[in-house]
Amino acid sequence: MAKPIRITAFVAVLSAAVFSQAQSPDSAVVDRIKEEGLKHSQVMQTLSYLSDVIGPRLTGSPSLKRANEWTRDTMSKWGLQNAHLEAWGPFGRGWQLDRFSAQVIEPQAIPLIAYPKAWSPSVGRANNAEVVLVDAADEKELMKLKGTLKGKIVLSGGDKPVPARFTSQGTRYTDEELAAMTEPEAPRPRRNPGGPAGPAGANAGQRNNQMQNFRAQAALAAARLRFFMDEGVVAVLDGSRGDDGTIFVQSASVPPAPTPKTAVPATTNGDAAATAPMPRPTSVWDKSAPKTLPQITVSAEHYNRMVRMIKQGVKLKMSLDLKASFFNQDLMAYNTVAEIPGTDLKDQVVMVGGHMDSWHSGTGATDNGAGVAVAMEAARIIKALDLHPRRTIRVALWSGEEQGLFGSRAYVTEHLGSYPPPAPGAPMNFGGGPQANRGPLTKKAEWDKVSVYFNLDNGTGKIRGVYLQGNDKVGPIFADWLKPFHDMGATTVTIRNTGSTDHVSFDAVGVPGFQFIQDVIEYDSRTHHSNQDVYDRIQADDMKQASVIMASFLYNAAMRDEMLPRKPLNSGN
């Protein structure tokens, strides 16, 4: 921190005026950024290559590695320097779908909209397998089926409601909604690990019930999978949420490891087992993950028809073909990093990024090819205009975001700082709230060199403003930077936090990390983690708008005299 300088009141007033002038965005440069980014944009071309040509980019997969290399080479071609891959990990094994089809063949042909969950093992060909419905409410009911499921394909769970829609699937924020966002957030109940956030105002009793319910559901799901495996089931199918043939697909599950005998004392009456912390499940991507069953998600409409036919007493037979490859040789994963070197303040860094990894049933256009393409485009615009930022601008494209912000966390740990690891069994903190307050922060070389990290990971929607993550000192600065974009719909600065993506990794160690407010468009209803996460659902004009705002924010942050102000580190650090 610079030494405070004593000055007279008069000089202070004068220099404040000069200072604020010098700090305001250079409007001629912003105009040039708009010209380049709106009229000569390459953002959709970048996104098309990433999503259409390279395709889905599951963490650990060969196509993610290809995306790492392609983004590195593309940014080098644009004139960025020091473009390279940074390994982190070990993450675990990669997975790739080689071949898949599923259809009912008896009593009539019903080709299914379906997709295997990531890291599902191969089935080979199951040509005439009987399809059975298992909708057991508890383990006791499940056990009644013992010895009946060998060689069968199981529909696990009942039908999924498909309510009609009476409102548009795509939405943009109204002025009223944006205005409401500038109010401080009402306190929210703690999020259950892995479960949905409880309703605002839920009391401790309700939360306890939710937690018990969640645990009971998780325990039943685990018991079900273990039972199906023991039975010798061919594959397990479930119905997706969503409609219009949209399916939402993430990772396959692995059966839990058998509870070690020492976990429950021999004298216990069983209560200890009920209150013991749930063991952290093994991840399906772990190299030593236990064997599991092929798991396939089917669109609600097709799944429901099969359920209804079986309930009508019809015998269904299915032809299933699933081949997948696992990659065990390189267990590391990679981030792509590239820079525009700064001038007089080149040791200081302004960062921008998005995550390159995606789920596998779409092409990762929304989540988060869009953010990657915008980060790259922002850097391309600055380079194309031959602007010479004072600070170094660094693009970082993450991996492992979908599995737990792993790539950005590893980067922050390596370059900026870290806290002692969490206690075993502690829930992961994906929230945008307080820093991980669990002991002293160990700072690394760049902790006081990185001014800011900007992230974009809410899909295709244009930027409507920015979340301050509780950092009120940057409020007036960002408000000023947004002014040239008011006529493009970006007006709102909110003190609120937003979480669940890579800026959290920076915020957690006290380095300013921000995520923009974006129009939702079809993020929740259709594209996020679904087979409809594809290029066609990306809005080109929104992407261009986001790119010019991102370029302008990067440039302004790189040019201002001071680094951006920080929040105080949590007490207790």
Contact positions toward Zn ion, by CB under 5 A?
367
How is 296-363 classified by DSSP, letter by letter?
Answer: EEE-HHHHHHHHHHHHTTPPEEEEEEEEEEEE-S---EEEEEEEE--STEEEEEEEEEEE----SSS-
Q: How far is the CB of 529 from Zn ion (least distance, A)?
A: 6
Compute the distance between CA of residue 70 and CA of residue 58 in angstroms, rounded to an integer: 16
For Zn ion, which is the closer residue by CB, 231 or 367?
Answer: 367
CB of 270 to Zn ion, least distance (A): 39
Shortest CB 95 distance to Zn ion, Å: 17
Query: What is the C-alpha separation between 300 and 302, in angstroms, rounded?
Result: 6
Residue whose CB is nearest to Zn ion in the complex, by number: 367
Minimum CB separation of residue 503 from Zn ion in Å reads 14
The strand ranges marked E within 142-231 are 153-156
Minimum Å gap between C-beta 397 and Zn ion is 15
What three-state secondary structure class fits 57?
coil
Q: List all residues 6 or more positions away from 525 whose beta carbon is below 8 Å from its beta carbon.
A: 169, 170
Listed in order, strand segments (DSSP E) in 41-184 are 81-88, 94-106, 110-111, 114-116, 124-134, 153-156
| H helices present in 138-196, as ranges | 139-143, 175-181
Q: Which is nearer to Zn ion, 367 or 502 (CB)?
A: 367
C-beta of 406 vs 478, nearer to Zn ion: 406
Report the alpha-carbon distance of residue 400 to residue 331 in Å, rounded: 12
Nearest distance from residue 361's CB to Zn ion, in Å? 12
Residue 66 host element (H or E): helix 62-77
Return the number of the residue (407 or 417) whose C-beta is nearest Zn ion: 407
Smaller CB distance to Zn ion: residue 25 or 459?
A: 459
Residue nearer to Zn ion on the CB measure, 196 or 424: 196
Preceding omega of 107 cis (within 30 degrees of 0): yes
**Smallest distance from Zn ion to CB 549, Å:** 22
Round to whole Å and give the CA distance between 136 and 480: 58
Minimum CB separation from Zn ion for residue 366, in Å?
9
Instruction: Output the smallest distance, CB 402 to Zn ion, in A.
Output: 5
Cα dihedral across residues 562, 564, 570, 573: positive or negative: negative
532: burial class by Cβ within 10 Å (0-12, 13-18, 19+)? buried
Query: Distance between CA atoms of 111 and 340, rounded to whole angstroms?
Result: 51
**Residue number, 359 or 419, with CB nearest to Zn ion:** 359
Q: Give the separation between CA 85 and CA 65, rounded to whole angstroms.
A: 9
Comparison of 497 and 556: residue with beta carbon closer to Zn ion:
497
CB closer to Zn ion out of 68 and 358:
358
